[in-house]
Amino acid sequence: MKTPLVLFGASGLLGGELLRLLDAHPGLELAAAATRDGGSLSAAHPHLAVAPVAVTFDVANERVLELASSGTVAVAYALPHGESARHWLALRTRLRERGVDANVVVVDLAADYRLRDPDEHHATYGEAHADPEGLHEFVYGLPELQRVAIRGARRAAAAGCFATAMQLAVWPIAAAGLIDASRPLVLSGITGSSGSGAKPAPNTHHPHRAGNLWAYALKGHRHEAELRQTLSTTTARSAAIAFVPHSGPFVRGIHLTAFLPLRAGVDEAKATTTYATCYANEPFVEFLGDGAPDLRRVVGSNRASLGLAVRGATLTVCLTLDNIVKGGSGQALQCLNLMLGFDEAAGLPRCGLGVTG
């Protein structure tokens, strides 16, 4: 018998991607797909072979309560930042009144529960956290770093797209204590237009985006906070972070380049061994050694691909991933698989699309 899943925020790009992935999942079954107005999902996602009938949030809430009364139900939030916490707080209150909140497994694709410290959340997102009590329930949803914690949890906050790329690029060398924390970590990333969401805007309009490239958030990007949180457990915790994101002329994908300062005596052989060992058994991280990844090999898949080189005292790591799969809905599904006891790779594509346009 499959586990039912209720999706809130089904009309957006991440919601549509999660619906696509669920179609091939052996253990999850869509029970309801909710939009604010119950609008047509066939119109929002014509790429789906059979688009589900959308329901309103109120109908989906009642469906969660009904399903939780008789067993386990999964809830996925693909809502704009700030809305997941408000919605989950209200729904959790009703579930607790019935004594069935433990039956609900939750994954949030937004930023609402990623940062453990509510003050850090306020500083990063510019508003007080709507559910500070609920923060302790959520584990950080980056399986390569938090697999054991996710497997034992009932709530996960899927890592952000740029944050996933940055952490996968930096973590192995930082965890090994090989970074010179007196020098800054310098990172540059390029993302596709899907990172801006489904709602049209001047910076995602095709005539403006195609054949164009520009930097933004020059004074700091919010996903840096997730990297700082992860590095807080390493000897690199005091290192300054300088990250500059760019908008690229493509739809899917992130290409990240990280320039990481090395401690004296760390050469390319040591760095290569460190990354190869760290990712040797990871189903969705492909280490290329001194090879250079590109977007075409990973777009459409849940894989991240990375390679490295050392010049003097600087390690350069290049990494690519699909921002709406491994950096979004695929990551959320990977977390659900772990929390629900499924094969971690269930329903997740390993192969890229190859020719993407």
Q: Residue 164 has what pLDDT?
A: 98
Residue 250 has pLDDT above 80, yes or no: yes
User: Which helix (H) or strand (E) segment is 156 a member of?
Assistant: strand 155-158
Q: Residue 208 has what pLDDT?
A: 84
Side-chain-side CA neighbours of 320 within 13 Å: the count stands at: 19
Is the domain spanning 3-137 CATH 3.40.50.1240? The answer is no
What is the C-alpha to C-alpha distance for residues 90 and 97, in angstroms, rounded to an integer?
11
Q: Which residues pair with 75 in a beta bridge?
A: 6, 106
CA 264-268-274 angle, to 5 degrees, is 90
Residue 162 has pLDDT above 90, yes or no: yes
Q: Are strands 241-247 and 214-215 parallel, antiparallel or unpaired?
A: antiparallel
**What is the mean pLDDT of the segment spanning 122-148?**
95
Query: Tens of pLDDT along 290-303?
Result: 999 999 999 999 99
CA 95-62-108 angle, to 5 degrees, is 65
Token duo for residue 78: 């693909």
Residue 39 has pLDDT above 80, yes or no: yes
The identity of residue 248, as a single letter, is G
What is the C-alpha to C-alpha distance for residues 48 and 12, in angstroms, rounded to an integer?
13
What is the C-alpha to C-alpha distance for residues 332 and 13, in angstroms, rounded to an integer?
14
Q: Where, residue-wise, is CATH 3.30.360.10 in the chain?
A: 162-321
Q: Residue 257 has what pLDDT?
A: 98
Give Cα separations from 238 to 166, 233, 275, 313 (angstroms).
16, 10, 22, 18
Q: Residue 356 has what pLDDT?
A: 63
What is the C-alpha to C-alpha distance for residues 111 and 157, in angstroms, rounded to an integer?
7
Q: Where, residue-wise, is CATH 3.40.50.720 in the chain?
A: 3-137
User: Which helix (H) or strand (E) segment is 339 a member of?
Assistant: helix 330-340
Q: Of 281, 240, 274, 329, which Cα lies nearest the Cα of 25?
A: 329
Residue 88 has pLDDT above 90, yes or no: yes
| Active centre residues (catalytic) | 161
Q: Return mean pLDDT, the chain.
A: 95
Q: Of 246, 237, 243, 241, which Cα lies nearest the Cα of 215?
A: 246
**What is the mean pLDDT of the segment spanning 71-87?**
96
User: Which helix (H) or strand (E) segment is 33 a member of?
Assistant: strand 28-34
Asked whether 164 and 304 are in contact (CB, 8 A), the reply is yes
Residue 357 has pLDDT above 60, yes or no: no
**What is the mean pLDDT of the segment spanning 41-52?**
92
Token duo for residue 150: 């996710």
Is the domain spanning 162-321 CATH 3.40.190.170? The answer is no
Residue 43 has pLDDT above 70, yes or no: yes
Residue 324 has pLDDT above 80, yes or no: yes
CB atoms within 10 A of CB 101: 17
Burial status of residue 152 (CB atoms within 10 A of its CB: 0-12, 13-18, 19 or more): exposed
CB atoms within 10 A of CB 226: 24
Residue 355 has pLDDT above 90, yes or no: no
Q: Which residues pair with 76 in a beta bridge?
A: 7, 107
Residue 215 CB contacts under 8 Å (≥ 6 apart), including other chains: 244, 245, 246
Q: Residue 209 has what pLDDT?
A: 85
Token duo for residue 230: 């992860």
